[in-house]
Amino acid sequence: LVYKPNDDLRFIGRLSYTGSALIRNTASYAKPLKIGGQTLVDLGISWDTRFGKQPVTLSAWCYNLLNKDYWYAAGGNNIGLGAPRTFAVSAQFNF
C-alpha cells in the first residue's frame, strides 16, 4: 500500500503473510514439527529530493513493526528464528 501526498513523498505499508510449514526430522521415528504461519507489518517512508544538483531518494523503514517472534522454514530440515523489529535507512543517488 503506497500513499503519495505529493510527487516527492511516499508512505509505504506492507502486510506479508507466510503460511504454516511442516519440518521433517531426519530421524525416521520423529514426528514432523509444525511451525505456525505469521503475519508481519512493515512501514516505510521515501522522499525524492536533490543533493546539490544530484537527484537522490532518501528512505527509512521499520521491518516487523510489531516485533513479532516467529520461526521460519529455512530450507531442507531446518528452521530459523525470524528477525526482530529492524530499522533501515538508505540513500539512492540517480545518475
pLDDT tens track for 12-39: 999 999 999 888 877 767 788 889 999 9
CA distances from residue 52 to 3, 11, 46, 55, 56 in whole angstroms, order as listed: 27, 24, 18, 8, 10
Instruction: Read off the pLDDT of residues 61-71 as tens digits, 9 standing for 90 and up.
Output: 999 999 999 99
Please state the pTM of the whole predicted model. Answer: 0.83
Q: How confident is the model at residue 77 (pLDDT cuts 50, 70, 90)?
A: confident
The arithmetic mean of pLDDT across residues 28-55, rounded, is 92
